Structure 1
Amino acid sequence: MTKISDGSSGTKRSEIGGIPTRYIGIGVIVVLAVWFLFANLDKVQIQFWVFTVTAPLWIALLGTLIAGAALGWLLKGRRGR
C-alpha cells in the first residue's frame, strides 16, 4: 500500500513498504537497463567520424547509458534556476 509520510524537511514522500517510491523506480530502471544490455551481446561495427571499431553492442549501449546519465546529472541543477 502506498503511504504518504511527512519528512523532517516538510515535504511529503510516497513510500511502499517503507521504501521511497523514487528508489523503487530507480531500481526498476537499473534492472531493465542491465537486462537490455545482456540481451544485446552481438558484435557490431560502430562508426565514428574518422574511424570504425567492432565491439559488442552492449558496450555501445552501456556507453550511451552512461553518457545520458552524466548529461542528466549535469543538467539537473539548471532546473531550479
Structure 2
Amino acid sequence: MAIDKDLLEVVLDAVRPSLQADGGDCALVGVDDETGVVTIEMTGACAGCSLSEVTISQGIERVLRDNVPGVTGVRAVM
C-alpha cells in the first residue's frame, strides 16, 4: 500500500513545533512503501540529543502510525 506523502508531510508539520521549541527539527528523507517504514533525519539540537530515540519512537512514530495509513515504523539517519 502506497503511503500518502502529502498527508505524511502534513502530520510531520504538526509535530515540528514541539521539536523546534527545543531547538531541533526533523526532515523527511524517504518512505519505503513496501515495508511502511519512514526515514527521517533529526536536525538541530535533536541531531545530537540522547533522547532523540525516545522522541522518535514514542513521539513521531506514534503520531505517524496513528494518523498516516500504511506507516509501520520510523527510523532515523544521521
Normalising by structure 1, we get a TM-score of 0.28
TM-score (norm 2): 0.29
Which structure would you say has the larger RCO, counting Cα contacts within 8 Å and 6 or more residues apart? Answer: 2
